[in-house]
Structure formats: structure tokens, C-alpha cells
Amino acid sequence: MSPLSDLLNLDLSDTKKVIAEYIWIGGSGMDIRSKAKTLPGPVSDPSKLPKWNYDGSSTGQAAGDDSEVILYPQAIFKDPFRKGNNILVLCDAYTPAGDPIPTNNRHKAVKIFEHPNVKSEEPWFGIEQEYTLLKKDIKWPLGWPLGGYPGPQGPYYCAVGADKAFGRDIVDAHYKACLYAGLSIGGANGEVMPGQWEFQISTVVGIGAGDQLWVARYILERITEICGVIVSFDPKPVEGDWNGAAAHTNFSTKSMRKDGGLDLIKKAIEKLEVKHKQHIAAYGEGNERRLTGKHETADINSFSWGVANRGASVRVGRDTEKEGKGYFEDRRPSSNMDPYLVTSMIAETTILG
């Protein structure tokens, strides 16, 4: 091991100290920020953690003459990078007066998930996060010829082999790191476009789905940083006859999971159709480049649903149809969506109407 590796792997247990990495979302809505804080000992309850602050003028979230933004710890996960008792701390952001800053979509989502009618339905979410790995210096997909294109789509989905699967070590490292952190990562697979992959955050209740997806994104950003690769959440990273990248969101309520739930699923889909434009507006930037009616998408300007139809806005699975209960998949959210917005909107539209 190198001297640097020796230092990175130092055992801090004798010091009794713990390093907490505070994580938050920056002003663009997709830039993940973090900084480390030393704690006197292990902490497992976010309410026991100290609030912290940062320079909001450097993240596009405050003016220079009043730049302090306050971090409120909301969730704790094990740190797969520092290991031991060290932790990752997901935070949201507030003004010094205690008001949520405009980009704090978590605060807005919590209000919806805390509504009695929503809580009683125990909304479950499963999010399929697609992303594309890019070469750092030229920002071109991993495994693609320099300045050129690989063979047409077809051989790459869930494929194996050096000529079809590019970046598997990153995917596996991310998978294991998420499990170590305590995330409900359900799986991972290669996607239709070469250099594109997917992981799933599965069966998480309410606000936890957004929390876990953001931490999973943070871990992925850190791993690709180590590897000198860029992770892109652009919904259409390469124009032309290539699939885009989505964050398909699976949803069910307690009532939908009971016998006869399929009728409630159909009613929920009808409500989604009524508010199609509002949902599309919140489902990610650049989504119009992906939702074209091609490459397993529905056209952005129309709403449709179907059983086992990946060309529809909303898909109902064959198992759900057969059993008469289960869940549905909203296929409209783009890979760069904010899960706090998407999950809370689906709950609000389908449960609160």
C-alpha cells in the first residue's frame, strides 16, 4: 500500500472521534454538495446531530451580503468510504430564521407525506435510477469509440462481455457501497444504450424514498470521482437513435396492495392524466428530448397507460393485472428529476386528489 493509502485507511477507533459527512443539494437542484465535521462520538439519531451552516452565495442559494444557510440533519447512513462509526448525514437547508430556502423541496414533500390521509395509506415507492458513464476529458460515453459510435442498440441491455458492458466495476462498487450504507438498493443492470446503467431504490415508504435516492446519487458521484469518470443524469445524453435516461417511479398505497386494488390503481391513473402537464413540468429538465414517443417512451404532450406497455406514460405490470392488486409505474420522470418533487406529487395527486 502507498503512504497515502495507509493514511486513508487509518483506524480512528482509539480517538473515539467520528467523521460526519454532511450532504445537501445545491442551487441547481442536481449539484450535490458535502463537507465533513468531527463529532465527539457515535451518533445514530439525526435529531442529536448539531445543525451546521455553509456559504449559500457559493451554491446559488443566497446573496453574498447575507450568505449563511443552515443545514438541518434529517437522515443518517453508514459511510462506505471511511467505514467504522463514520456516517453520511443527509440534510436540508434553511435560513437563519428557520424558514426553508426556496430550493428545499424536501420540506415541501414532508408536509404532504405527513398528511393523515397520506400516512394512513403507507405509500411505497421504488425508483429506477438510470445514468450514463462518460469519459472525463471528452464527456463521451464510456466504451464508445473516440469521436464515433458503437454498433446499434440491441446487444447491450443486461449484457456481459468487454465489447458490450462498460463500467461494471463502478456499478458493482456502487451496489455494495449502497448496501453497506444501509440503503434499500434492490438491484442494478446494464441499460439499452451502451455506457448506460440503472440501479433501483426499492420499496421505501414516503419521504425515505427521496432521502435514499439522493444518498445513492452522492455515493455514485464519489465512486466515479475516484475512478476519474463522469456520471451524467442527462435524460438524453446522446442525440439520435439511442435510448434516453429515466427515473421510472413505481408506486402503491395500502389500498392498492389489497384485494380489489386494481380498480383504485385505475382511478389513480385517471387522476394523473388530469394533472399530466403539472407533473411533466416537475419531472426533470430536458425531458422533452427523451419523451418523444420513441425508445420506450410516450410523447411528452399526451398521456397514456397500458398493461406491460413500456411505450406508455404509466405502465401496469402483468402480475398486478393478474392478481387484481399491486402497483403502477410512472415512466415519465427523467433521470435528473428531484425525487422529493416526484414522489410527493404522485402521492398528492393520487391520494389527496
Rounded-to-integer distance, Cα 252 and Cα 121, Å: 9
Cell 433501483: give the residue: 200
| Of the candidates 156, 53, 157, 137, the residue with the CA atom closest to the CA atom of residue 95 | 53
> What pLDDT is stored for residue 230 in this prediction?
98
| Of the candidates 90, 85, 91, the residue with the CA atom closest to the CA atom of residue 40 | 85
> What pLDDT is stored for residue 98 in this prediction?
97
pLDDT tier at 254 (50, 70, 90 boundaries)?
Answer: very high
pLDDT of 206 strictly over 90: yes
Q: What is the mean pLDDT of residues 246-257?
A: 98
Q: What is the pLDDT of residues 291-346, one digit of tens each?
A: 999 999 999 999 999 999 999 999 999 999 999 999 999 999 999 999 999 999 99
Percentage of residues of the chain with pLDDT beyond 90: 97
In the chain, where the domains are located: 3-103, 116-352
The grid cell for 293 is 414517443
Q: To which CATH superfamily is domain 116-352 assigned?
A: Glutamine synthetase/guanido kinase, catalytic domain (3.30.590.10)
The grid cell for 27 is 442551487
Rounded-to-integer distance, Cα 291 and Cα 288, Å: 5
Q: What is the mean pLDDT of residues 218-246?
A: 97
Neighbours of 12 (CB within 10 A): 15
Q: What is the pLDDT of residues 125-141, one digit of tens each?
A: 999 999 999 999 999 99
> What pLDDT is stored for residue 2 in this prediction?
83
The grid cell for 238 is 446522446
Q: What is the mean pLDDT of residues 15-31?
A: 96
> What pLDDT is stored for residue 211 in this prediction?
98
> What pLDDT is stored for residue 59 in this prediction?
97
Rounded-to-integer distance, Cα 179 and Cα 280, Å: 32
pLDDT of 353 strictly over 90: no
Query: What rounded mean pLDDT belongs to the chain?
Result: 97
pLDDT tier at 38 (50, 70, 90 boundaries)?
Answer: very high
Partners of 334 in beta bridges = 246
pLDDT tier at 147 (50, 70, 90 boundaries)?
Answer: confident
> What pLDDT is stored for residue 1 in this prediction?
63
pLDDT tier at 85 (50, 70, 90 boundaries)?
Answer: very high
Q: Does domain 3-103 have CATH number 3.10.20.70?
A: yes
More confident residue, 12 or 208: 208
Neighbours of 235 (CB within 10 A): 26
Q: Do domains 3-103 and 116-352 have the same CATH topology?
A: no
Q: Which residues contact 322 (CB under 8 A, 6 or more apart)?
A: none
